[in-house]
Structure formats: structure tokens, C-alpha cells
Amino acid sequence: MRAWSTRQLHAKAEKSKRIGFVPTMGFLHSGHLALVTRAKKENDAVVVSIFVNPTQFGPTEDFNAYPRNLKKDLALLKKEKVDAVFVPSATAMYPDGVKSTINAGPESKPLEGQFRKGHFDGVCTVVVKLFDAVRPTTAYFGQKDFQQTRVVEEMVARRKMPVKIVVCPTVREADGLAKSSRNVYLSPVERAIAPVLHQTLLLVKKDLLAGEPVGKVEATAFGVLALTGFNVQYFSVCDAKTLKPLRSFKASKGKRVVVAVAAYLGKTRLIDNSLFSL
Ligand code: PAF
């Protein structure tokens, strides 16, 4: 992978190419393909990686069950005419097992960090390895994993990595459910309930913009989701930069906020968020 990228970056006859990179764990859907489309628009060559990264899954999480379909993914990417697909093995990525991991920064600690210990250390570790191999000019991530985008942005800034991070809007089903590879786990009944997550985020945005107190809005949303059948892990109005909880609407006027939620529907864990300025 690195040899291929080096050839693109140091092409003698022509000007050096801009490499757009879309890192994925495969089982591609239109959310991933929107990242590819954006990358194609802004670069000379596009690389997509497919690697289900073991180090970002906890011991009781769904690493083994995580949906995989490499044949279908490769067919989709061929249709998109991407320039290279990087599908490393676990031993290529972790030749010495996992001896050292990167510590994700403070943005990794709240929200997901409370429930998925070590998750973002695993994400940062694999992203650094993927960037080392692909040497992208720009890397594209989806806003659905908003905390991941903040953690990666800060890691890249702290390490002064020469990569631009672009965050693209969440792609949704017609009924508002955010596209996710994990949506295949939902039973038909759960699938019918799932859009309530997005609907609740929209209502919360409306209430916050109307000046409702943050605590009250969060508690109501928590209650609505619980009554609908969700097992909510967190529903939190946060500063979109630090991801620290916002307590007062007045003190936060003009701030960019993210309302982030993680909830189980049956055995499926869903996350979503809404990003706006107060
Ligand atoms: O968002 C994902 O699919 C993964 O966390 C990533 C960025 C590919 C790292 O494994």
C-alpha cells in the first residue's frame, strides 16, 4: 500500500497526486459511498480501506459478529472506480500482536468513552497505521461517529500529522435512521422503532433553540426513548469541541453544540447526534 501511495505522491512525469482516503470496516452502505464521492471530487486518486479493527472492540462487543461481505464491497468500489482498495490482514496491521496502542486524548473520555473503555485508543492506533500506509492528503469520516471525528482531529493536530480531516454529513434512510452497518442486526419491529432516535434529536434541537433548560430537555428525551423501548446509555448535550456536557443554555449562547445519544434496541447498539449552534 505504501509503495503504491509513494508512486502517486512522487510521480515524476506529472505533478504529485492528492490522495483522498476513506477508512472503513467494510459492509459498505450509501454513507460510505457518499464519503467516496466527496473524496473523488477533491482528489486525484481515492483509496478505501476495509479492515475490521479488533483493537477498537471490547471483549464483550460484536467483533466476531460484525457484518462482513468483502465480495460485495469490492464490487461496489469497482463501480465507484476507486483507485485502490487496501484490505490488510490483522497480522499485517499488528505484526507483534498489540504491544503498544496510542492513547486517545481527553475528547475520548466522555460519551462513548464511558461505555466503551479503550475504544478510541484502538481507533487512534489503527488510524495512525492506516495513515502511515496510505499517506493520504485528506481523509474522510462521517459525522454519525461525531466523537470519533473529534478524537481523530485532535490526534492529527497534536501529532502534527500532514493529513486534512474532512467530516461529511450523516446519510440517513428515508425515515431518518442514520445509515450504519449495524442496522442489519435490527429485527423488523426494532427497525420500525429505530427512527425515533433521530426524531427525538430533532425535537431536542427545537426545544434547546427555544431556550428550554438543558437538564429538562435531556431528561424528557431520555424518558421518551425509554418509553419507546430503547435502553439509553447516554443522551447528552455537549460542547461540540471539547465534548464536555453543557449545563446552562444562557452561558452557552453562540456555542456550537452536539447532542449525542447511544441506545440499545434489543441487542443492537445505535448512536446518532445532532450538531448546531445555540
Ligand atoms: O468508523 C469506522 O469505520 C472505524 O472506526 C475506522 C475509522 C475505519 C477505524 O477502524
The confidence score (pLDDT) of residue 13 equals 60
- Between the CA of 49 and the centroid of ligand 1 the distance, in Å, is 9
Cβ atoms of residues 202 and 178 within 8 Å: no
Q: Does the C-beta of 56 come closer than 6 Å to ligand 1?
A: yes
How far is ligand 1, taken at its centre, from the CA of residue 212, in Å?
Answer: 35
Q: Whose CA is nearest to atom 5 of ligand 1?
A: 123
pLDDT at residue 133 in the model: 97
User: What are the structural domain ranges in the chain?
Assistant: 2-168, 181-277
Take atom 9 of ligand 1 and give the residue whose Cα is closest.
123
Ligand 1 test: best mutation among 53, 166, 271, most atoms within 8 Å of CB? 53
pLDDT the model gives residue 199: 98
Nearest-CA residue for atom 3 of ligand 1: 24
CB atoms near residue 7 (< 10 Å)? 11
What would the grid cell of residue 159 be? 501529532
Architecture of the 181-277 domain? 2-Layer Sandwich (3.30)
**Residue 141: closest CA among 160, 154, 98:** 154
SS3 86: strand
Tens of pLDDT along the chain (278 residues) come to 999 998 888 766 667 789 999 999 999 999 999 999 999 999 999 999 999 999 999 999 999 999 999 999 999 999 999 999 999 999 999 998 887 789 999 999 999 999 999 999 999 999 999 999 999 999 999 999 999 999 999 999 999 999 999 999 999 999 999 999 999 999 999 999 999 999 999 999 999 999 899 999 999 999 999 999 999 999 999 999 999 999 776 667 778 999 999 999 999 999 999 999 98
User: Could you tell me which of 76, 276, 38, 261 has the C-alpha nearest to residue 167?
Assistant: 38
How many A from CA of 140 to the centre of ligand 1? 11
Q: Which residues are catalytic?
A: 32
Per-residue confidence (pLDDT) for residue 224, from 0 to 100: 97
pLDDT at site 12: 63
Q: What's the CATH number for 2-168?
A: 3.40.50.620
Query: What local confidence, expressed as pLDDT, does residue 14 receive?
Result: 64
